[in-house]
Amino acid sequence: MVFNRRSFLLALAALAMSVPGWAQSAYPQRPIKLIVPYPPAGTTDIVARIAATKMSSILGQPIVVENRAGTGGSIGSAAAAKAPADGYTLVMLVESSHAVNPNVSRKLPYDAIKDFAPISNLADVPNVLVVGSKFKSLDFAGMVAALKANPGEYAYGSSGPGGLSNGNGELFKHVTGTSALHVPYKGMAPVLADVMSGQVDFCFDSISSSIGFIDGGQLKPLAVAAPDRLKKLPQVPTFAELGMPALNHPSWFGIGAPAGVPADILDTLNKAVVQALADKDVIAQFDRLGAIPAPMTRQAFAEFIKSENARWKKLVEETGIERQ
């Protein structure tokens, strides 16, 4: 048989045309959307944008952050769960929306375990108890004494029912034997503004979004949730030092996709996360926020989310936190 180069090339071209994407099947081929189920300027948003910027350069496609806030993270999370499982919609999987809310809300429009494919944790961020003008002259013990002496007189703000700041507030009241009115907001930015103005008296927030106001003197930190005292706040005790280990857990901020995304795409995204979190600029940006890079394998992150759900389920049962 005589080899006909022209016929061979024509046949090859016909084959390429008959298989859509045959020559361009590598993921990703277009921009990716990352849903942040909380408002702009909060810790989830800040961590997401830092990671997304670096991941975009690694993957060669833009990762566009879309804030879809409301109901303790459930609105954005539910939207992501219903998105096509093609790798072009991602979502932040964080402690508030994927461990606290599932255990303190009576009904969610998503299943925190079954409806998502975990990719990796991004960062662990210490929480901090911050107070406004009414408590600025007091330490932690003094604040607790004031709450006990005046039940119902003080209020704390949260990002909304079912969120981590709400869960920590209710856990704090149980552990300290105090009472305080819960005032829900749509995100932590307005909470912090009202703590500073005196509209509410205290809140639990991630150090990332509070540190600027702490440094500026508008907020006073009384305790932090971290393994050790923070370099940024060496004078502030941990909750463990104060005898409250249940409150001494840093919060976590990870990334995932709708369930059903092919494993090879998830692996590509996991590799991009690991590479991004090893970048010096990303590490420096996280450090300025008090955040610690915390990459995981997909399997490890999935197991971690399950264990965190179990931890919060036990806390809710033990403390009697009322389901919303």
Rounded distance, CA 123 to CA 309, Å? 18
> What is the radius of gyration, based on Cα positions, of the chain?
23
CA distance 225 to 128: 6
Pick among 3.20.20.70, 3.40.190.10, 3.50.50.60, 3.40.800.10: CATH of 127-247: 3.40.190.10
Reduced 3-state DSSP string for the chain: CCCCHHHHHHHHHHHHHHCCCCCCCCCCCCCEEEEECCCCCCHHHHHHHHHHHHHHHHHCCCEEEEECCCHHHHHHHHHHHCCCCCCCEEEEEEHHHHHHHHHHCCCCCCCCCCCEEEEEEEEEECEEEEECHHHCCCCHHHHHHHHHHCCCCCEEEECCCCCHHHHHHHHHHHHHCCCCEEEECCCHHHHHHHHHHCCCCEEEEEHHHHHHHHHCCCCEEEEEECCCCCCCCCCCCECCCCCCHHHCCCEEEEEEEECCCCHHHHHHHHHHHHHHHCCHHHHHHHHHHCCEECCCCHHHHHHHHHHHHHHHHHHHHHHCCCCC
Q: How far is the CA of 161 from the CAs of 91, 131, 183, 232, in angstroms?
A: 20, 20, 9, 30
Whole-number pLDDT of residue 4: 53
Long-range contacts of 236-241 (CB under 8 A, 24+ apart): 236/128, 237/140
Over residues 17-33, the pLDDT tens digits come to 444 433 346 999 999 99
pLDDT in tens, 157-208: 998 887 889 889 999 999 999 999 999 988 888 999 999 999 999 999 999 8
The answer on pLDDT for 60 being more than 50 is yes
Distance, in Å, from the CA atom of 143 to the CA atom of 91, rounded to the nearest integer, reads 37
* Per-residue model confidence as pLDDT tens digits over 289-309: 889 999 999 999 999 999 999
Diameter over CA atoms, the chain: 99
- Domain 32-125+251-319 and domain 127-247 have a common topology: yes
pLDDT tens readout for residues 198-242: 999 999 999 988 999 999 999 999 999 999 999 989 999 999 999
pLDDT of 251-292, one tens digit each?
A: 999 999 999 999 999 999 999 999 999 999 999 999 988 899
Amino acid at 136: K
The phi and psi torsions of 155 (rounded to 5 degrees) equal -135, 150
Pairing of strands 181-184, 155-158: parallel
Rounded to the nearest 5°, which phi and psi values hold at 314? -65, -40
> How far is 15 from 277, CA to CA, in rounded Å?
41
Does residue 3 register a pLDDT over 60?
no
Query: Does the domain formed by 32-125+251-319 have CATH 3.90.1150.10?
Result: no
Given a contact cutoff of 8 angstroms between Cβ atoms, the answer to whether 43 and 191 are in contact is no
pLDDT of residue 73: 87
CA–CA distance, 143 with 286 (Å, rounded to integer) = 31
% of the chain surpassing 90 pLDDT: 76
pLDDT of residue 24: 44
End-to-end Cα, the chain, rounded Å: 78
Instruction: Give residue limits of the domains in the chain.
Output: 32-125+251-319, 127-247
